[in-house]
């Protein structure tokens, strides 16, 4: 059996830090395990020709959201042996779920493996934007001491209105971590929490069209589906409160690339941060690299060393069950038995049918 792992190159860091499990060189720490079962593990970073060459005779393909292997309908059609697609992390939109279901290919991801990591990253980036941290840091690096220039765009987080778009496992943890800052927090999601759940995390439900225009800060934590793709387009961004801060750690395609650049240049959006792009890896000339007032990072929010251990363990569990002919953990299952089983992705499948 052939297991194909497509992920990011670790380079010199892979040799210095063995806990960097998510990279090509360290291969999720599963090489010895896979080979001890008599199977072959191929670990690569190329998402083009080399990936297609190996995918054609692979039984399993593993990818990370941070260096996604786009397993399209066309690539699935050319891969007759493919039985299982795994995401080492959370978010499987790089796989064509409808095509996988039609071919009876199961899809799973390590649900919950990096929710804490992402939520902490969100709060960090909210503070970085509101407190104008990046320009302050650059002032120091540049040898300057222009306090007025930095302070003119620096605010307290306290008393701001925060809207969370997508109140899943990450959104709930973002709200809970913002609670001590004494913000007013609202959320929108297809599923409303109970009153008790809302009180615990410190937020209240509000219909989407009512929530977005009043927010000082918006955190995007929804999955990418046909309904959310380019949801924050030119019209939507224009409807937001002038001077809004936006943090997006969900998926880059939820925000329209060029519309965001224009909104930042005009000043309607005060600043933008996040670590998700489209496509990924982002090309060197991606406009988000050079747009004003941003605090972007590469897709690293969900791949701390602790998160890598969790999603590596999850992949090992998935493979063990697959080798033994056992069912996957229910929380991990996205596609099973020819249908999309996860409610988060079911809508995407219905739209493609």
Q: Which of 75, 94, 114, 308 is catalytic?
A: 114
Contact partners, residue 154, CB within 8 Å, separation at least 6 = 130, 131, 132, 136
Q: Is 251 a catalytic residue?
A: yes
Q: Which of 251, 256, 294, 310 is catalytic?
A: 251
Q: Is 177 a catalytic residue?
A: no
Q: How far apart are CA 201 and CA 178, in angstroms?
A: 9
How many other CB atoms are there within 10 angstroms of residue 45's CB atom? 18
Q: Is 299 a catalytic residue?
A: yes
Q: Which of 54, 299, 308, 310 is catalytic?
A: 299
Cβ contact 324:81 at 8 Å: no
Q: How far is CA 137 from the centre of its chain?
A: 26
Gyration radius of the chain's alpha carbons = 21
**For 267-319, what is the HEC assignment?**
CCEEEEEECCCCCCCCCCCCHHHCCCCEEECCCCCCCCHHHHHHHHHHHHHHH
Whether omega for the bond prior to residue 302 falls within 30 degrees of 0, making it cis, is no
Distances from the Cα of 42 to the Cα of 5, 48, 96, 123, 177, angstroms: 6, 15, 22, 37, 40
Q: Which of 221, 248, 280, 308 is catalytic?
A: 280
Q: Is 221 a catalytic residue?
A: no
Catalytic residues: 114, 251, 280, 299
């Amino acid at each position: 059996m052939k297991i194909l792992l497509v992920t990011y190159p670790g380079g010199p860091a892979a040799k210095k830090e063995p806990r960097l499990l998510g990279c090509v060189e360290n291969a999720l720490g599963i090489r010895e395990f896979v080979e001890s079962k008599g199977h072959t593990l191929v670990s690569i970073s190329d998402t083009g020709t080399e990936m297609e060459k190996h995918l054609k005779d692979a039984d399993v393909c593993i990818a990370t959201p941070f260096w996604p292997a786009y397993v399209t309908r066309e690539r699935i059609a050319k891969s007759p042996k493919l039985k299982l697609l795994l995401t080492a992390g959370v978010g499987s939109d790089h796989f064509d779920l409808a095509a996988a279901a039609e071919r009876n290919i199961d899809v799973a991801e390590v649900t919950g493996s990096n929710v804490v990591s992402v939520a902490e990253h969100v709060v960090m980036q909210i503070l970085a934007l509101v407190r104008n941290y990046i320009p302050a840091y650059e002032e120091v690096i540049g040898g300057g001491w222009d306090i007025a220039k930095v302070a003119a765009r620096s605010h307290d987080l306290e008393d701001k209105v925060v809207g969370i778009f997508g109140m899943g496992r990450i959104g709930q943890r973002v709200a809970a971590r913002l609670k001590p800052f004494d913000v007013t927090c609202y959320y929108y999601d297809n599923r409303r929490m109970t009153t008790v759940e809302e009180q615990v995390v410190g937020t209240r439900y509000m219909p989407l069209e009512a929530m977005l225009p009043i927010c000082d800060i918006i955190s995007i934590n929804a999955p990418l589906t046909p309904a959310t793709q380019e949801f924050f387009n030119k019209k939507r961004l224009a409807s937001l409160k002038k001077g809004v801060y936006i943090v997006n750690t969900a998926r880059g395609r939820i925000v329209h690339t060029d519309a965001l650049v224009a909104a930042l240049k005009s000043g309607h959006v005060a600043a933008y941060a996040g670590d998700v792009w489209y496509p990924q890896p982002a090309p060197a000339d991606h406009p988000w690299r050079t747009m004003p007032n941003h605090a972007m990072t590469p897709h690293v929010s969900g791949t701390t060393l602790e998160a890598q251990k969790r999603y590596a363990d999850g992949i090992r569990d998935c493979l063990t069950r697959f080798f033994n002919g056992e069912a996957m953990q229910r929380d991990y299952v996205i596609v099973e038995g020819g249908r999309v089983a996860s409610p988060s992705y079911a809508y995407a499948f219905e739209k493609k049918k």
